[in-house]
A = this chain, B = another copy of it.
Amino acid sequence: MEYRKVKDQDIESPDGRSLSSTAASSTLGDAGGLKGKHSWKQKSIVTVALTLLTSSQAILIVWSKRAGKYEYSVTTANFSVEALKCLLSLVALYRTWNSQGVTEDNRLSTSLDEVSVYPIPAVLYMVKNLLQYYIFAYVDAPAYQILKNLNIISTGVLYRIILKKKLSEIQWAAFILLCAGCTTAQLNPSSDHVLQTPLQGWMMAIVMALLSGFAGVYTEAIIKKRPSRNINVQNFWLYIFGMIFNLVAICVQDFDAVMNKGFFHGYSFITFLMILNHALSGIAVSMVMKYADNIVKVYSTSVAMLLTAIVSVFLFGFHLSLAFFLGSTVVSVSVYLHSVGKPQPQK
């Protein structure tokens, strides 16, 4: 039985999956069956949506902490997020069926061949989240926040290796800058701790970064494998497995509490807001995977981290450090370089 408050580290580096560990992917688009060539407009809209949802996520977490100290079960909240995403996908599908009729691409029924890979991202995230419990034996929470930026590098490397997509040399330079800039923006006087991380801590951090990067890249591969397939069907199956895995987590961790106190014990208005936000963020992540890629996702969540800090100055009176300004400058230059450094026409 483990009722926990939302963890501190969720505030500083939202990755769109802090509440719902297996909710790596989904989309609720009206354009399920577009072939490959998605418009610049579509890509921009989903990217901006992801950025705004991710930054408001962290702000909701801070707000919920200030509002009071209610406690709710994280596993039930995660399950609710998956269930809500499933529901939203079905609603979108229903509208598509009404307007376009049921086609090969938008029908819900699937083959074992198609659906067999869908649980893999959920399993990867589960392993990563298990490791998360052990890594705190070697590093403290602020150091873990810093180490999480290794995700940026691992995503870039796995994106290159698995999806075989080219980044230009300038885009690689931009990616290294993104990692350095995000880390710099998060520096605080105690950050040097991280340099004392023992080898086991480094190894685990690297393994976790690889698992997380692999899960993201693998989800993109699944979603893009059949470009004409309706994204809401793809999401539905991804979320079904998300629900199953979270149901197992509830049984293992919170079975007694849920039985004794009820499923929604400790939920407040803000908890529901957070669940809604996480569901929409999860769907935005999936849309970015369908219409853009993991690189755009990483940039989007990094910029969201900076936006969160700036908005927090006005909302909560936070102070920005010199390191934050320097890190933001480096991240901004990185975004610029990524856009001007597009590979030459050959791909």
Q: Which A residues fall within an 8 A CB radius of B? A: 146, 169-170, 173, 176-177, 180-181, 183-184, 187, 189, 191-192, 194-195, 320-323, 326-327, 329-330, 333, 336-337, 340-341
Contact in complex: A184, B326 (CB < 8 Å)? yes
C-alpha spacing A195/B321, complex, angstroms: 8
Contact of A192 among B173, B191, B322, B327 (CB under 8 A): B322
A84 → chain B, closest Cβ, in Å? 39
Contact of A146 among B146, B189, B322 (CB under 8 A): B322
Contact in complex: A326, B180 (CB < 8 Å)? yes
Known contacts A195-B322, A340-B169; is-contact A333 B176 (Cβ 8 Å): yes
* A169 cross-chain contacts in B, Cβ below 8 A: 340
* A330 cross-chain contacts in B, Cβ below 8 A: 177, 180-181, 184, 330
Contact of A340 among B170, B176, B177, B327 (CB under 8 A): B170
A314 → chain B, closest Cβ, in Å? 17
Q: Which 7 A-B pairs have the closest CB atoms?
A: A189-B189, A180-B329, A180-B326, A184-B326, A173-B333, A191-B322, A192-B322
A333 → chain B, closest Cβ, in Å? 5
* A327 cross-chain contacts in B, Cβ below 8 A: 184
Contact in complex: B177, A322 (CB < 8 Å)? no
Residue contacts A-B, CB under 8 angstroms, 14 given: A170-B170, A170-B341, A177-B330, A180-B329, A180-B333, A181-B330, A184-B184, A184-B323, A184-B326, A184-B330, A187-B187, A187-B322, A192-B321, A192-B322
Contact in complex: A173, B336 (CB < 8 Å)? yes
* A333 cross-chain contacts in B, Cβ below 8 A: 173, 176-177, 180
C-alpha spacing A180/B181, complex, angstroms: 10
